[in-house]
Amino acid sequence: MADTVIYKKIAVAILIAFIVFLLSFIPFNLTQAVLLGVIAFLVVLWTNEALPLGVVSLLPIVLFPSFGILSTNLTTQNYANPIIFLFLGGFFIAIAVEKSNLHRWIAQKMFSIFPATARGVIFSLTIASGVLSSLLSNTTTALLLIPIALFLSDEAKLKMRFALGVAYGASVGGILTPIGTPPNLILLGFMQDKGMEAFSFVEWMWMMAPLVVIMLIVVSYLLSIGCSDAKISFKEDKKTLNKDQKKILLLLGGVVMLLLLNAPLGSHWSGLGLNESVILLGGGLLLFAPPFSILDWMDDKGKVPFRIMFLFGAGFSIATAFSATSLASELASYLIALSDFPTLFVLLCIAILVTFTTEITSNTALISVMLPIIYALAIQTNMDAKLFMMVATVCASYAFMLPIATPPNAIAMSSGALNVKDMLRYGFLLNLIGVFFVVVIAEFFWR
Picking from 5-14, 178-187, 236-245, 257-266, which range would have the lowest pLDDT averaged per residue? 257-266
Q: What is the pLDDT of residue 304?
A: 79
Number of neighbouring beta carbons within 10 Å of residue 336: 12
DSSP codes joined into one string, 331-357: HHHHTGGGGGS-HHHHHHHHHHHHHHH
Model pLDDT for residues 332-386, shown as the tens digit of each residue = 777 777 777 888 888 898 999 889 877 766 677 778 888 888 888 888 778 888 9
Evaluate whether 319 touches 186 at the Cβ level (below 8 Å): yes
Q: How confident is the model at residue 189 (pLDDT cuts 50, 70, 90)?
A: confident
For the segment 152-161, the average pLDDT, to the nearest whole number, is 84
Q: Which of 22-36, 273-287, 298-312 has the highest mean pLDDT?
A: 22-36
- Full DSSP string of 71-136: -HHHHHGGGG-HHHHHHHHHHHHHHHHHHTTHHHHHHHHHHTTS-SBHHHHHHHHHHHHHHHHHHS
CA angle 61, 171, 201 (to 5 degrees): 75
Higher-confidence residue: 199 or 427? Answer: 427
Q: How many CB atoms lie within 10 A of CB 283?
A: 22
pLDDT bin (cut points 50, 70, 90) of residue 98 is confident
pLDDT per position as a tens digit, 161-173: 999 999 999 999 9
Q: Quote the CA–CA distance of 365 and 166 in Å, as a whole number.
A: 24
**Distance (Å, whole) CA 432 – CA 438:** 10
Nearest one of 224, 228, 235, 220 to 148, comparing CA atoms = 235
Q: Please choose, from the candidates 125, 144, 138, 220, the residue with its C-alpha nearest in 3D space to the C-alpha of residue 179.
A: 138
Q: Quick check: 400 and 168 in contact, CB under 8 A? A: yes
Please report, rounded to a whole number, the percentage of residues in the chain having pLDDT higher than 90. Answer: 31
* Interval 169-186 mean pLDDT: 88
For the chain, what is the radius of gyration of the CA atoms?
22
pLDDT of residue 437: 96
* Torsion sign over Cα 266, 81, 206, 433: positive
- Reported as a single tens digit per residue, the pLDDT across 382-437 is 888 899 999 999 999 888 987 767 778 877 877 778 887 888 899 999 999 999 99
Mean pLDDT (the chain) is 84
Q: What percent of the chain has pLDDT over 70?
A: 92
Domain boundaries, the chain: 52-446
Cα–Cα distance for residue pair 384/191, rounded to 1 Å: 13
Question: Which tops the pLDDT comparison, 184 or 312?
Answer: 184
Q: What is the pLDDT of residue 316?
A: 81
How far apart (Å, rounded) are the C-alpha atoms in residues 365 and 321?
13
Amino acid type, 196: M
* Dist CA 62 CA 40 (whole Å): 15
What are all long-range contacts of 196-205, with beta carbons under 8 Å and residues at least 24 apart?
196/385, 196/386, 200/259, 200/262, 200/263, 200/264, 200/271, 200/276, 201/177, 201/259, 201/262, 201/263, 201/276, 202/259, 202/260, 202/263, 203/263, 204/177, 204/178, 205/176, 205/177
Q: How far apart are CA 51 and CA 73, in angstroms?
A: 25
Per mean pLDDT, which range of 60-69, 103-112, 374-383 is the poorest? 103-112
Highest mean pLDDT among 113-127, 224-238, 428-442: 428-442
From the centroid of its chain, how far is CA 328? 23
Confidence class for position 149, pLDDT limits 50, 70, 90: confident
Give me the pLDDT at residue 254, please.
Answer: 87
User: What is the rounded distance in angstroms from the CA atom of residue 189 to the CA atom of residue 174?
Assistant: 17
Q: With contact defined as beta carbons under 8 Å apart, do 447 and 387 qualify? A: yes
Residue 264 has a pLDDT of 61
pLDDT at 72: 95
Return left, alpha or beta for 71; rule: phi > 0 is left, psi -120 to 50 is alpha, else beta: beta
Phi, psi of 271 (to 5 degrees): 85, 175
| DSSP-derived secondary structure letter, 307 | H
Q: What is the structure's pLDDT at 362? A: 66
DSSP letters spanning 214-257: HHHHHHHHHHHTT----B-------PPP-HHHHHHHHHHHHHHH
Identify whether the C-beta of residue 90 lies closer than 8 Å to the C-beta of residue 251: no
